Amino acid sequence: MKKILLILVGGTICSAVNGKGMLAVSEGAGVQIKTNFEKSDSYYADKAEIELSENLLILSENMTVGKWNLMIDAYRKYTREKRYDGVIFAHGTDTLAYSAALFSMILSNTDVPVFFVSANENLDSKRSNGNDNFRNAVECICRGIEPNVYVVYRNLSDGQTYLHLASRIEQCRNYSEDFYSAGMMNITGILEDNFEEYFDRIKREYPKEKRRSFIDVYGDWQLEGRVLVIFPYVGIDYDAFDYGRFSAVLHGTYHSGTACAESGENYGKSSILYMIDKCAERGVDTYFSPSKLTGEVYETMGIIGEHTAPKNYKIKFLYGCTTEAAYAKLVLAYSVFKDKSEIAKFIDTECNFENIVK
């Protein structure tokens, strides 16, 4: 008998239609998830003991750094005695990629498998993939998947179920009900027969000895909202942000790793050089992702380098990971570590295979 903890975060998988005809998080969601699995035809329906946490009742779109702390506290509370064979977070789809990336780094040294599961529609809907996603997570744990942090999700476009490393998953795109990640593995049907082949591949590609643990989940720390994220768009006004409230800025890029970098003596407020100067004046560390200064890059990146190098500004280019993973890593860095050298070491070191491009 495998003992599994189900942490009820919220989101669609924990929702029901309310009296106004709208989806809202439901107190009874955990019982429904558990009951549906126990009534399923899964071989493990009566071989997995599922224990429920209290329901955090958080709609995915309402996730905040403070509510991340509630998730961490729930994990600490229920797992401190280490008596589970696996943990499953029932989480909404909107911010799933951010939460999964965060926990992939906090739990990079986990000795039990941890899964994030969600649903495209509430569990009463015939279109919902929530029951399948939960079932696959339970079966992976029961079959002995390598300890790590994962997302399992059945895409709606092709009906296939994919296993994702949590550190690599990207947000679901607009007008889509599918999730994607670098190296995602199609596990549709594997749990009936040749699962050993796939689980051996996971051990080979993501060996535990190559993961780096910097954070004790049971340590005396809390996350703080000290990182500002800015995405470029046509006509952006960098004067609109209150940089002084933050310790770091994570600036996204267009698909080619660029952002507006018009130069000259009178460059305007739409140039990233203006933002760089503002951050430097306030002692705010600046990061760009996904972008780099070396290799065959656009002229605009060279302009940024020419602007910052003589002034010794604290600028860092994060290349290789998703924006979701970059943000999660920075939030952790500026919350857990106080020394600048510790922050830099954590950011520069791959924790849990988050670098999808070398």
Tokens at residue 229, please? 């994220």
From residue 342, alpha-carbon distances to 347, 348, 349 in Å are 9, 10, 11
State how far Cα 287 lies from the chain centre. 18
| CB-based burial, 80-103: b 16+ in 10 Å, e otherwise | eeeebbbbbbbbbbbbbbbbbbbb
Q: With CA atoms as reference, report the closest residue to 290 among 166, 163, 170.
A: 170
Q: Phi/psi of residue 321, each to 5°? A: -110, 170
Q: Taking the complete model, does pTM exceed 0.85, yes or no?
A: yes
Query: 134 in helix, strand or coil?
Result: helix
What is the pLDDT at residue 214?
Answer: 96
Task: Tell me the per-residue pLDDT of 150-161, one tens digit each, with 9 for 90 and over.
Answer: 999 999 999 999
The 10s digit of each residue's pLDDT in 13-49 is 988 777 776 667 878 888 999 999 999 999 999 999 9
Task: Give the confidence band of 339 by pLDDT, cuts at 50, 70, 90.
Answer: very high
Query: Got the DSSP string for 145-161?
Result: PPSSEEEEEE-TTT--E
Rounded distance between C-alpha atoms, residue 47 and residue 357, angstroms: 40
**Rounded Cα–Cα distance for residues 37 and 148 (Å):** 23
Q: Which residue has the tokens 């569990």?
A: 123
pLDDT tens-digit readout, 238-269: 999 999 999 999 999 999 989 999 887 667 89
Strands 149-154 and 23-25: unpaired
* Residues 136-159 as b or e (16 or more Cβ within 10 Å = b): bbbbbbbbebbbbbbbbbbbeeee
Q: For 153-207, write each residue's pLDDT tens digit.
A: 999 999 999 999 999 999 999 999 999 999 999 999 876 667 788 899 999 999 9
Cis bond upstream, residue 290 (ω within 30): yes
Amino acid identity at 313: Y
